[in-house]
Structure 1
Amino acid sequence: MKKSFQYIKQKRSGIVLAGLLGCAASIGMSGCTNLDEQVYSSVTKESFFNSKEEVIANYIRPYSHIVGSYQYRIWHLNTLTTDEAAMPYRDGNAPADGGDQIVSMHWHTWTPDDSEIKNTWDAIYRGVGLTNSTLENMESVNFQKLNVGLDKDMVLAEMHCYRAWYYWLLMDMWGNIPISEKVGEPLYPETKSRKEVFEYIEKEVVNNMDKLLDKGAPNTYGHMIKPAAWALLAKLYLNAQVYSGTLTASGLQPGQARWDDCITYCDKVINYSGGGGYQLDANWNDPFKIKNEVSKENIFVVVYDTTYATEMRWNYKVLHQEHQKTYGFTWTPQNRMMTHNNFFSLFGATDKRREQWLVGPQFAADGVTPLKCLSGAQKGKPLVLDPYFVNAPGDTATMITAKEFHGARNVKYELQKGSKISQMSNDAPVYRLSDIMLMKAEAIMRKNGGQATQEAVNLVNAVRKRDFAPGDPKAEYTVGTLTLNELLNERGREFAWEGWRRNDLIRFGKFTDPGWDKKQSEPWRIVFPIPNNTLSVNPNLKQNPGY
């Protein structure tokens, strides 16, 4: 069981009040309107907090909420809309997770009526609502009287910073959004400009980060601690030109750059010594192991656990049905997601990070018995995963015509043999030291007119060192070979399938570019549309440009 999730099992029933109030907080922003459930009728804020366990259950609730969405809905919108991954039809069968709406993500033809977009919007705003309710509920709680064992000012500061992260997710994906800090107040919040939301997030974090706990304090794993807040600010400033700019149907007019501020907060993380500080893990895949809570590199994670925090469903979506025989699962994988040839080709033959892709002939657990294709012209033949889409003569691969064997499969997260469906114990890294180092390198280069400096090169090479055998000439960049475009490619290799590709492509001006089975898309698609049914509930919201 993960360290901080010891609290979740103490009073799971204690979560209901936070759930009710969090739902109320999202009225006017999401579709959460069902507030008359009988189970809540006898619970009030005044009668609820009578013990330490009840306080802690409310404190943990905003964290446990994200578990069901981070590696699912949020990941979908930030990854399936890029060149990094796709969920195509398989031998004529539509993707089970959303059918043609999933295909529209790849094509950039989504609409304000798409449920994938609405469900993600709702999920994140429920997180905002839960955090709002925790902040309100905690104001009147006497922590000393209940012997909570936590500093009240710290808890409130942590919730402010955690809510800021929720708002960062919303701002990054939708741009102009409503802000609410109270449960149900205002009932119909108005749209704030992306620049206003940027400034709000910045203020919330800066005003509260010094009160947060340091790494190494008890029960802080997976929590918003000081270095996590600094990483959030660094990411905010790295994208400042996008976030503070003006988006119209014609495209983005960039705002003010904040490269120095990005570097400042990257340095705070890099030079941090609390709890032993952070170091790059020895191996590229250590941050993704089953027991990755021991990683020295991960700064902030979404905690998953096979008992108390399920829904880490990597194994379920990525693997072919026949891989059940390889990993001893008691269920059948769904063969949904893949990576296509353009992105897979970024990984050189001697780059150890290429090991995260399943390609070529596939075998059962004995390593000898071939797995078989289950449909189409290849039915009964050996399963050979084809990253280049040339496996069989006459077989083409588009989002509609892909076959079961097309595309590389990502196994970056260590797979636990015999695991149950959607139950993996690998935590999902949000911020890693490697990301901080590459962010600083990028900020340095952009300050220098897009040209690399030796400091930027040293930062990138320090991350790459573990990815190549000693003496490999391809391991190191020089000032001449590290261009901004190559830095984007390197970020693609290092953070493949971690949910950063959309953010990176937008910052580099490449998100709407044509690619595999994708035409050039409109410049306003760098943000998603406000869901139409949300607009119909809240008359104070305004639709994003182009939609």
Structure 2
Amino acid sequence: MKRIKYLVLTLIAGSMLTACHQDLDQTPIDPDLFTEIDVYANIDEAKSALAKVYASMALTGQQGPAGQADIAGIDEGFSQFTRMLYNLNELTTDHAVVGWGDPGLPDLHEMDWGAGNDFTEAMYYRLAQVVSFSNSFISNAGQLGTEDAEVRSFIAEARFIRAYAYYNLMDLYANVPLVTEITANLPEQSNRQEIFAFIEAELKEIEGDLKPALSNEYGRVDQAAAQALLSRMYLNAEVFIGESKYAEALQYAETVINSAYSLNTTDGNGNGTAYDELFLADNDRNGAQNEFIFALNFDGINAQTYGGSTFMCHAPVGGTMDPAFFGVNGGWAGYRTTKGLVEKFESSVTASDAGAPVAWSDARANFYIDGQNYEIQTIANTFEDGYALVKYRNVDVNGNQGSDASGNFADCDIPLIRLAEMYLNYAEAAVKGGGGSVATAVTYINELRARAGADAIAQGDLTAQFILDERSRELQWEGFRRTDLIRYGQFVSGSYLWPFKGGVQNGKAVEDFRKIFPLPNNVLQINPNLTQNPGY
């Protein structure tokens, strides 16, 4: 399988400048300068420009892991897209806490962020940059002539990337400007209804120009990606637009399930499950790639960043954990999980630490407990409070370390959409009145559980709450949890508590406005057309 290369990195190095404004602490790079380079002379050069659109979500600057950042005012590694997706959608939930004290980071797991939070600001700028790069490519690629099917496919891919960025902007910030072309004018504010309608129309329009499922180069999107993103958006339609669209969510999930993608069942390392293969250094070729509908590609030599899978392999390693097992040269001793996630799994043995479970019949319960405490007493600078979680490992199925011999940077690709999510979408939509077959939904859930070595369920076990818990088990630390809890009314309410929710040890309800993040203060200072989200 071929990787789409980040060829344009050397092409644009030194030719893109960080935009400045005396009132700004963080500023995104000026994406319009990208259009000044003549990279549309032929289809091969245009492909390099398309690679930059993809790379805008994977990388953080112009020279590798650090040094010429796209976004100023925040540590460059912190600003990488998937790292911030994890922080905003997992660290704010029962799935994670972090002991680091970087300004703004503890506020996330305490659910006490403000409009000047470095991380919520940087994510807004990162996604705005992705939109700008996409707009630039879409505008300029037409120079090659849209009668060419390959050119139309390129443009459709960029439109998908833009739609994906807007999905996240809509989910995280709700009321953002909707900008579809490069302009010097300050944009007007849009709302979720308008953005939802835009994404829906875009994904349906580009479907025919995208390549069929699993027929594009690895790392590039196809028709199934557009269908899967529609399913995800329809599943959350009640939150986004106040209207149920479970039938549509089920329909598109079913279409993807019936496509060429397949659940990975190849247990390459012979440990009894094929689940861990999804998160190894060779997940672009060990069988996992056939489950990845949309993934960001990382390479320890050619695509270095302190975000991405480098972050996922280093940051959760600490205490007595052996960094070599994770294929890295050291742990960052930061992230671990709460008993809220641990309790989602049934255990067969319990330990003396407040009845903490120490043996599970589900391979997805890959907790590291040696020297770790089940109960969290303190968070700051304490890695031992809370079980560690083994997710990504920078080794292949044979245990060989990734391509970077130093152990600094990881090779694992990060899936943003995979087929397992569609199984869960179908099941939830079926249970919530979206049609389909509950019996089929049970079959899909049991396929996931069989891969993990968990017991099969009966049809009577398939409730909405069970599916939410199954999503927690299957999709842990993949950027879904906050959105899922909001959809189920459990994110801010007192109906479901976890350690240090709201900043107190046993958890508490928080304000309703926490379901969306604030627009950055700096953006509001620049653009008087925008109004801050309520509560901030």
TM interval, shorter chain, is 0.7 to 0.9
C-alpha deviation, 1:434, in angstroms: 1.2
Identify if the C-alpha distance between structure 1 residues 18 and 83 changes in structure 2 by more than 3 Å, giving closer, same or farther.
farther
How far the C-alpha of 1:407 sits from its partner, in A, is: 1.8
Q: Aligned pair in 2 of structure 1 residues 36, 227: CA closer, same or farther (>3 Å)?
A: closer
Determine helix, strand or coil for the equivalent of 1:301.
Answer: strand
Cross-structure match for 1:263: 250
The 2-side partners of 1:34 and 1:496 are apart by 32
Paired position in structure 1 for 2:350: none
In the TM superposition, what are the counterparts of 1:179-258 in structure 2 within 5 Å? Answer: 179-183=178-182, 185=183, 187-217=185-215, 220-244=217-241, 255-258=242-245
Contact 1:280 1:434 in 2 (8 A): no
Which of these residues, 491, 500, 516, is aligned with residue 499 of structure 2?
Answer: 516
Please, which of 117, 129, 135 is the counterpart of residue 138 of structure 2? 135
2:386 corresponding residue in structure 1: 407
Amino acid at match of 2:379: M
1:335 corresponds to 2:333: yes
Aligned-partner Cα distance in 1 for 2:114–2:179: 25
The reply on whether 1:84 has 2:63 as its aligned counterpart is no
1:59 maps onto 2:50 in alignment: yes
Query: What is the DSSP-based 3-state SS (H/G/I as helix, E as strand, rest coil) of the residue aligned with 1:189?
Result: coil
User: What corresponds to 1:453 in structure 2?
Assistant: 438
Do structure 1's residue 287 and structure 2's residue 278 form an aligned pair? yes
> What is the letter of the counterpart of residue 259 of structure 1?
Y
Q: Structure 1 residues 479 and 224, CA, compared in 2 at 3 Å: closer, same or farther?
A: same
Q: Does the 8 Å CA contact 1:356/1:411 hold for their aligned counterparts? A: yes
Matched residues in 2 for 1:487 and 1:328: separation?
30
1:107 aligned to 2:110? yes
Q: Does 2:486 align with 1:506?
A: yes
State the secondary structure of the residue aligned to 1:292: coil
1:477 and 2:457 are equivalent in the alignment: yes
Instruction: Show the 5 A alignment for 1:26-45.
Output: 32=27, 45=36
SS of structure 2 residue aligned to 1:178: coil
**Letter of the aligned partner of 2:455 in structure 1?**
A
Q: Give the residue type in structure 2 aligned to 1:267.
A: E
Contact 1:59 1:134 (C-alpha < 8 Å) held by counterparts: yes
User: Residue 354 of structure 1: CA displacement?
Assistant: 4.3
Deviation at 1:505, TM superposition (A): 0.6
Instruction: Tell whether 2:165 aligns with 1:162.
Output: no
SS in structure 2 of the partner of residue 430 of structure 1: strand
**Alpha carbons 1:444, 1:456 under 8 Å: kept:** yes
Tell me: CA distance 1:404–1:154, structure 2 relative to 1, closer, same or farther (3 Å): closer
- Distance in 1 between the 2:417 and 2:194 partners? 24
Instruction: Tell me the CA shift for residue 464 of structure 1.
Output: 0.9
Change (3 A) 1:35 1:545: closer
Q: CA, structure 1 residues 209+13, in 2 after alignment: closer, same or farther (shift >3 Å)?
A: same
Q: What is the CA distance between 1:461 and its match in structure 2?
A: 1.5
| Contact 1:348-1:354 at 8 Å conserved across structures | no
Match of 1:308 in 2: 302
Contact persistence 1:154–1:211 (CA under 8 A): yes
Q: Which residue of 1 aligns with 2:11?
A: 14
| Corresponding position of 1:248 | none
Q: Structure 2: which 5+ runs fail to align?
A: 60-79, 267-273, 348-359, 396-400, 502-507
Q: Which residue of 2 aligns with 1:533?
A: 522
Shift of residue 162, structure 1, vs aligned partner: 1.5
In the alignment, is the contact (CA less than 8 A) between 2:215 and 2:222 conserved in 1?
no
Q: Is the contact between residue 245 and residue 434 of structure 2 (CA under 8 Å) also seen in structure 1?
A: no
Counterparts of 1:284 and 1:352, CA distance in 2: 10
Per-residue CA deviations over 1:88-116 (Å, capped at 9, x if unaligned) read 3xxxxxx15x24x2111112110001111
For residues 55-102 of structure 1, the C-alpha deviation after alignment (integer angstroms, 9 at most, x for no partner) is 2221111111111323311221111111101113xxxxxx15x24x21
Other-structure match for 2:428 = 442
State the match for 1:375 in structure 2: none
Equivalent residues of 2:299, 2:409 under 8 A apart: yes
Question: Relative to 1, partners in 2 of residues 1:30 and 1:135: Cα closer, same or farther, differing over 3 Å?
Answer: farther
Q: What fraction of aligned residue pairs are identical, expressed as a percent?
A: 26
Q: What is the Cα deviation at residue 454 of structure 1? A: 2.5
User: How far apart are residue 467 of structure 1 and its match?
Assistant: 1.7
- Quick check: 321-330 or 505-514, which moved more? 321-330
CA contact (8 A) 2:40 2:141 kept: no
Amino acid at match of 1:152: V
- Aligned partner of 2:447 among 462, 465, 469: 462
Corresponding pairs, count: 472
Determine if contact 1:512/1:522 at 8 Å carries over to the other structure.
yes
State the partner residue of 2:152.
153
How far the C-alpha of 1:397 sits from its partner, in A, is 1.4
Letter in 1 for 2:54: Y
Between the aligned partners of 1:150 and 1:165, the Cα distance in structure 2 is 22
TM-score by length of 2: 0.81
| 1:424 and 2:423 aligned | no
RMSD over equivalenced CA pairs, Å: 3.1
Distance 1:17 1:134 in 2: 19
Runs of 5+ unmatched residues, structure 1: 89-94, 245-254, 361-383, 390-395, 469-473
CA contact (8 A) 1:305 1:424 kept: yes
Query: Who wins on radius of gyration, i.e. which is larger?
Result: 1
Distance in 1 (CA, whole Å) between partners of 2:89 and 2:246 is: 23
Shift of 1:355: 5.0
- The answer on whether the counterparts of 1:30 and 1:125 sit within 8 Å (CA) in structure 2 is no
1:124: Cα distance to partner? 1.0
1:31–1:534 contact (8 Å) kept in structure 2: no
Contact (CA 8 Å) 1:284, 1:353: kept in 2 or not?
Answer: yes
The 1:454–1:128 alpha-carbon spacing in structure 2 relative to 1, beyond 3 Å, is same
TM-score by length of 1: 0.79
AA in 2 matched with 1:279 = L
3-state secondary structure, aligned to 1:385: coil
Change (3 A) 1:352 1:287: same
